[in-house]
Structure formats: C-alpha cells, structure tokens
A and B are shown apart, each in its own frame.
Chain A
C-alpha cells in the first residue's frame, strides 16, 4: 500500500518521551510507546491516568509540551486532526464527535478532505458498512440514533480515510455485550488487513481477549508493558491502580423485609424530542436490599431517576411510594422529608453547584431535612455547625481536598462524588437512590462509594442504584433489573443473573424469565 523509502518492517508508530503539562499538572510524563503494523495495542489506565490526553496528542488535537512522534520511522509534528488523518491516523472518539442535527451521510462528508457529492459519499459509506458488517442508514438524523449506531457512523467515517492506525477511545463503554462482540469482529477483520489499532480501555477482560500488547499508564506515566494474554485480570488491575483498591465486602441479604420504595405503573411522556418516554414501570425495593438498574445509556435511566426523585412529578400519587406512603405528587424536598435521599448522575451542575463551597452545597440539599440543626430562627444559617457537618462528611468518606472548604468545582471528580454521596449518607436515609454512583471515578474512590452503599443497606435502608457498569451492579446488588427503551424488566436475583442474560435484556430481548416480583423470587 505504501510506496515510500521507509522500512516496512519497522514499527508503524514510535513515541518517545511524550509529555503534556497543563499548568502545574503533568497529564502525561515522558511516555514511550511503540505500535507495530497489524497489531491491536491496548492502552490501559484508570480515569485520569492520561490516556485521553495522550491520544489527543497523537491525533493532533493537543500540542505536546515535549517529546517526539515517529511515524513510519520519521519524526513528524502532528499539528491538527486533519493532518493526522492525512498521514493515516484515524480516531473514534469516546464522547462521540458527531453532529446531532445533521444526517449520518452529512456527518461522514464533514470528515472527508475531498469535496465529494453527498450521493457518492452515501454510496461509499454503504459499501463499507456492508464489508465490515456495520449496518447504517445514511439519511438518518444522528440525534435520533442509538449510541451503538452512532459509534458505527464514527467507525465508518474513520475507515473512509483508509487509515493505517485507528485509535479507539473506550469504544465498548456504551455498548451492550452483544454489540461489543460485533465490534471485536470488525476489529479483528481490520487487523487481518494489516491495520494497527490503539485500543483504549479499562475493561480488562476485553483487552485480554483481543489485544496483542498492552501499555499501562498510571498518573500520566507508563508503569508497565506486557502481553495481556499472559496476564490475569487481577494482575492487570494491579498494574493499573497500584495497591490502592480494597475489595468490597458484602454479606448475605437479610430475609423478610418491608418495602421502602415502591414504583407502581409509572408512565412518563417524553418532555423533549430527545427524551425517552417511560411506560409501565413497576419496582419494589425492600429494607436492607440493594437493587440495581442496568441498561445502555439513553434508555430512560435519566428520565426514571427524575421521576423517582421528584424532579418530575407523577400524575398519580401512588406511582411512587416511599416508606409505604404516596409520594408521586411531592417534589424533591417533600420526598426527602419522607426519609429519601437522591444523588443524580451529573456531579457538577446537578448534584452540586460548581462555584459554591462544599458546606454551601451541603446546606442546599439538606436545609429542610436538617433545618433544626443547620438553621437558627428566621432562617439564619448556623455557619459553624454546617461547616462542621461538611468536615464530618469529608472525613467519613475520605474526601481529599485543598483547603478547609473549597468550591465544589475545585475537587476532582472522584472526591466530589464521594462528598455528594457522603452528604446524603450522613442523614442515614431510609431510601437512597443513586444514578451512576461511580461514573468516571477512580478505582479507589469507587470501592469506597460501593462499600458505603452496602453498609447503608446493611443498616436497614433500601438502596436503588442505576448504573451502566455491569461489574459494579454484580458486585453490590442483591437483584438487577434492566431498563430498555423506557421499560424495566422484572428484577433478577444476582445468584441467577449472568452477564449474558443481562446483556440480552440490555439489547432489548424479551425477558425470558417469569415476571414474578422480587419478594417471591428470593
């Protein structure tokens, strides 16, 4: 394919001492990495390890502070994404870089350098989608497509450039297990054509399954290079996170319990064009139980959380019941006063006001439930008591922060998440509802949060966890229900649940098991 003077046997890409500094933070420090032709190379690391920064430099979206990139043996400066593409480097982004308001074909056209007419682009895209088994409708508006379909557009867009190196940034984090299998087949096909793939992930099993080599990053540095097939998932995890992770301990669930959170025939119309309507959702969470809601992103989990938390009110008061009483017509504060606590998905801007301090954020969510402790007469804030409570929460959840009472936005994602969860746990709520408790949180903080949820359930509260992370749900839940297209399956006890079973439900398969309520199944 290449007709140049370069050594065809040499590595395709060699990176030497690549460094990126943001202010005082060294996001990447002297990274060395070599990718041969026709290999799938894994780049492993926790969130915040510097993986995304590193690949953005390879793709020309960020300028390295120091170091060199050798492409086919020659020192090159990649100054823009379009130059990276010209040289034969393609990228599929983690947070898709697609345009919702445009069609699939228009999205593809935008990344092509030659101004081909729309019909020709659509035809080429159709050919490629057939060759690689990636079904695609060129005229569909991206805003209407599922995440899996969007990813196919990204991949086809990338393949149209005929790249020699394809960078995939956490491609399976949004896919069902079955969709992921299809992706792996596509990747193996690409490898057999002699293309190289840089595969970024923190999912160890899939790295072991498809990757030929792995480079492990921690805190911006390369800590190991290995053949993932010769490693175990545990040994890879140790390389990634060091010794910071403590295993989560969980007891058997107690028997015979009262229902603390109940959802009855919950329906909700879509509130905007991209929202998912909810239909006929039934659910019961018992005292001492952790119930998980699995599902691919964008299947109604956000809408469901809003309905349960009271951000959106229900038409019937008995659609949501807390502690045996109707709560469907009550707002968030009303439901909190009944003993419930809620942690939404987005930390900054939803769970916490970014530019207010931790103690102010604490007061914002608990000024009614803890009015007696936090407020004096006429609603005057007792600053010292609030500050002391914030300090207590930080200590209990091991929140690492600079200064006594920093702004929420100054904390790292994991530490802020520990704080917003600790803020609710501190109340000892009888019902706790959490959406994506550990999304984008490092392993140490995630383990701490999971353990805290388990301890809360052990103390007799009902916990509902909505998460895309199946490993997490299997680790902490007593039963898992699956949300797909705005509907919720009956919960499956973890003892009976398998990844395959849950994965099929996530992909929209009909629930094969009896729709028996959880209480009878145990």
Chain B
C-alpha cells in the first residue's frame, strides 16, 4: 500500500518536474513564458494521437517534444523578434493551445491509447520498499531526474550556462559583452517548449493513456508556480514537484477513504498549497532577490 502510494506520487510529480525544469531554464534566460499550459496540452494531444496511430509510444513522445518546441518557437518569434508583451503572448499561447488541442483531439476522445510501460531493472527492482520505487518506474521518470541533474550542471558549471544566467541577469550588459541575447533566449525557449511537450506526453501516454479535453488541468500553471517556489534552483524544483504530487495523490486517497470533505475542496488543495507557498516565499525577500533573474519578462531591443 505504502509503496504504491509513493509510486503514484512519483507519476503525479514527474510531469510537473519536467515542465517546471524547462520553464526554469527559460526564466533563467530572462523570458517569462506563461504558455506552459498551452504547450503541455499540445504535447499531450500530439503524443496521444501519434502513439495511437503508429502504435509506438516512443514516436508519440518524440512528436510531443517537437510540437512543444514548435509552439515555443512561435512564442519566441512573437515575443523576442516582434517584441510583443511577454505576459500577453504567453496567455494567448495557452488559450490557443487549449482550443487547438480540443479541436484536434475531438476524434480521439474515448479511444484506448498506447501506454509506455515501466522498466524493470532486474534484481534491484526486487529490493524491499525502495525496489520498485527507484528501479521499476517508467522511463520518463528517469529522464526527469537526468534532466534536473543536467540542467543544474549546465547552469552552474558550464560556460554556456553562465552566459544564459548573465543574459537573464542583465541583458543590456550581456549585449555589451558581445553575447547574443536573442539567440540564447530562443534556445532556452526551445528547450522549455520541448520539456513542456514531453510533460504533456507523459500525461496522455504514461499517467492515463487516453485523451480527454483539458487533461492538463492546470498543471502548466503549477509548473510555473514551482519555478518561483524553487527560487530558480533546479534541485528545489524536485522538492516542490514531489510536494505537490504528494498533495494531489493524498487528496485522491482522502476522497477514496470517504473523508467528510467535499471532493471539490480536496481537488483544490494543490492550488491552495501553491498560493500558501508563494506567500511564504515572497516573505523572504533576500532569498527571492538574490536568485530572481533581474531581466525576467523585460523586452530586449538592441540599440543599433
């Protein structure tokens, strides 16, 4: 019982973690892309459709990654090249993604999907308690952990990561240093979009292999909140994602056990927790100010 709860927490947390780690890189470069939800839902519908039509879950995953990145490219063209307002553009992207996915997915509603099964590392997965939790998960669980480690290493131990952080801290200075601000931001956006697409595919291929309209159900917004929750630090995103995953699953179990609280209220718990955590975090101004990318959301136009 306990082990299976932990495993379901991991499956609830993994899509949040993947989407948030992508957005973290985007925000570290100084771009605020509020379109995570839209890119995620597009990844979900594409992943489901491609997996079903080809019969290959992995092809679905790759298609979702490509579509997420394509949506991010659209955002980049609008917000970076045409210098539109980032907040408005991100919101538009989310609404566009929700609408488009609903239309594209209409004929897929209710059809059985293809599931990406769990891997089973022999011997290790038979270990008591932690065996299945650590060594018998779906492949994307391992991808999410590797992504976090990779992003943490990239940001704080490589020159390219240093340049990305510099662009996010002060894009005017970065430009004066000869760093290609727009180019770096495009790459960061593409990575963030790919991650969001992957997170969407996780929902429709691993979490529940089916397509339901609006199936992301606000997870993109939670991913955005997680980035702030983690104060733009990769490993703290893991903590946050599992915390929220835990609340989500706990709420399900509470409902199943017939706790005398309306189910609607229980379903709102993760969002309530988000608000509480954001309030707590913003109270510590030193923590937020030292880590917040100072150029976040600000338009950059080189004066040439």
Contact = CB atoms under 8 A, between A and B. Distances in A.
B153 to A, nearest CB: 14
Range of interface residues on B (Cβ < 8 Å):
20 to 34
Which of A83, A99, A143, A274 gathers the greatest number of chain B CB atoms within 10 Å? Answer: A99
Range of interface residues on A (Cβ < 8 Å):
20 to 34
Nearest to A91: B176
Interface stretch (B130-138, B160-168, B202-210): B160-168
B290 A102 contact: no
DSSP majority for the A interface?
Answer: loop
B60 to A, nearest CB: 38
B178 interface: yes
A403 interface: no
Given A82-B178, A115-B159, A102 B165 contact: yes
A99 B173 contact: yes
Contacts, number: 64
Interface of A: 61-63, 80-83, 85, 93, 96-102, 106, 109-111, 115, 143, 272-274
A85 B178 contact: yes
B284 to A, nearest CB: 10
Q: Which 8 interchain pairs have the tightest Cβ spacing?
A: A82-B178, A97-B173, A81-B178, A99-B169, A97-B176, A273-B286, A101-B169, A115-B159
15 contacts: A81-B178, A82-B178, A83-B178, A85-B178, A93-B176, A97-B173, A99-B169, A100-B294, A101-B293, A110-B163, A110-B179, A115-B159, A143-B290, A272-B285, A272-B286
Nearest to A274: B289
Contact of A63 (B285, B286, B304): B304
Contacts of B176: 61, 81, 93, 97
Contact of B165 (A82, A98, A101): A101
Interface of B: 159, 162-163, 165-166, 169-170, 172-179, 285-286, 289-291, 293-294, 303-304
Contacts of B179: 110
Contact of B173 (A82, A98, A273): A98
B177 A273 contact: no
A2 B174 CA distance: 29
A301 to B, nearest CB: 21
B89 to A, nearest CB: 23
B177 A110 contact: yes
Contacts of A99: 165-166, 169-170, 173-174
DSSP majority for the B interface?
Answer: helix
A96 B293 CA distance: 18
Nearest to B162: A106
Given A97-B176, A143-B290, A102 B285 contact: no
Contact of B166 (A62, A80, A110, A274): A110
A273 B159 contact: no
A99 B173 CA distance: 7
Given A110-B163, A143-B290, A273-B286, A100 B178 contact: no
A413 to B, nearest CB: 18
A22 to B, nearest CB: 9
Nearest to B293: A101
A63 B302 CA distance: 11
A325 to B, nearest CB: 34
A102 B169 contact: yes
A147 to B, nearest CB: 15
A98 B162 CA distance: 13
B105 to A, nearest CB: 42
A109 B285 CA distance: 29
B140 to A, nearest CB: 32
Contact of B177 (A83, A111, A272): A111
A336 B268 CA distance: 49
Contact of A101 (B172, B178, B290): B290
Contacts of B177: 81-82, 97, 110-111
B166 A102 contact: yes
Contacts of A115: 159
A62 B304 contact: yes
A109 B159 contact: yes
A93 B172 CA distance: 12
Contacts of B303: 62
Contacts of A63: 304
Contacts of B294: 100-101
B162 A273 contact: no
B285 A273 contact: yes
A82 B181 CA distance: 13
A102 B162 contact: yes
A110 B163 CA distance: 7
